[in-house]
Amino acid sequence: MMKEDYLWDKTGDDAEIKKLENTLAAFRYQETAPPVLEQKVFTLEKSSPRRFFRFAFGFAAFASVVAVLSLLWFQLSGSKTPVVETVSETNVVNRAQKTADDSFVAPRETVETIKAFDETKPFIAPKIVKIRQTIAPVVRRREKITARNKKFTEPVETLTKEEQYAYDQLMLALTITGSKLKIVQDKVNGIEEQNAVVEK
């Protein structure tokens, strides 16, 4: 019969347990130095191209964000600068005048005002500002100018394709007729004047 006290706190005597202890003593834990592990040398690779690209993409993204922000900043600050506005308006009016057949006519007052603005050279902004300003706000300003011009220009009648063709043909025929009649008129008037001079 085993004595449980010996198992717990080694009080008393238990021959059977002791015998077992002695038998297993060979396997008792003995504190020894830790085993020496094999050393492995890890060499760090140089920056791979993939890593470089990752960095490049990051930089490009950062640069584009900076560009967009600066563009926005220029836009916002540009709308307050009179010179920049002048540049854009001039462009828009010039374009409008080029394309204006009958639908859009810039009033002379606007053009004169813009010319007057152009003469104020001391207010000319740095070149880069001018270039940037002409990109985005053109559409907005064009709308503004169109809206402004609507006050001055009379409503223009639109012609259908057939009317336009007929008008062109008629005017061509009348011009040719008119120019030839003018030749005759000038010749007749010239002869009459010569006769008047001779009679004097």
Partner 1 sequence: MKSFAQQLSKIALLAVFALSAIVVNAQDARLRFEKLNGLETRARDVIEVNIEGKLLDLGRRAMAKSKDPNAQKVAEAIKDLKGIYVRVYNFENENEYNIADVDEIRAQLTAPGWERLANVRSKKNNQKVDVFTMFTGDIMSGVAVVLSESKSIVVVNIIGPIDIELLAELGGKLNIPRMDIENEK
Binding interface with partner 1 (CB under 8 A):
154, 156-157, 159, 162-185, 187-188
Q: Cβ neighbours of residue 13 under 8 Å, at least 6 residues apart? A: 3, 6
Quote the least distance from Cβ 190 to partner 1, whole Å: 10
Nearer to partner 1, 69 or 176 (CB): 176
Nearer to partner 1, 183 or 196 (CB): 183
Quote the least distance from Cβ 168 to partner 1, whole Å: 5
Q: Exposed (0-12), middle (13-18) or buried (19+): which is 133, by Cβ within 10 Å?
A: buried
Quote the least distance from Cβ 169 to partner 1, whole Å: 5
Quote the least distance from Cβ 189 to partner 1, whole Å: 10
Question: Rg for the chain (alpha carbons), in Å?
Answer: 49
The encoded tokens of residue 69 equal: 């922000």
Task: Work out the number of other CB atoms within 10 angstroms of the CB of residue 106.
Answer: 22
Give the DSSP letter of residue 87: H
Quote the least distance from Cβ 90 to partner 1, whole Å: 26
Nearer to partner 1, 119 or 157 (CB): 157
The encoded tokens of residue 91 equal: 């462009």
Nearer to partner 1, 11 or 164 (CB): 164
| 3-state secondary structure at position 29 | coil
Interatomic CA distance for residues 122 and 117, integer angstroms: 11
Nearer to partner 1, 105 or 136 (CB): 105
Confirm if 82 and 123 have CB atoms less than 8 A apart. yes
Backbone angles phi, psi at 25, to 5 degrees: -60, -30
Nearer to partner 1, 116 or 159 (CB): 159
Quote the least distance from Cβ 192 to partner 1, whole Å: 12
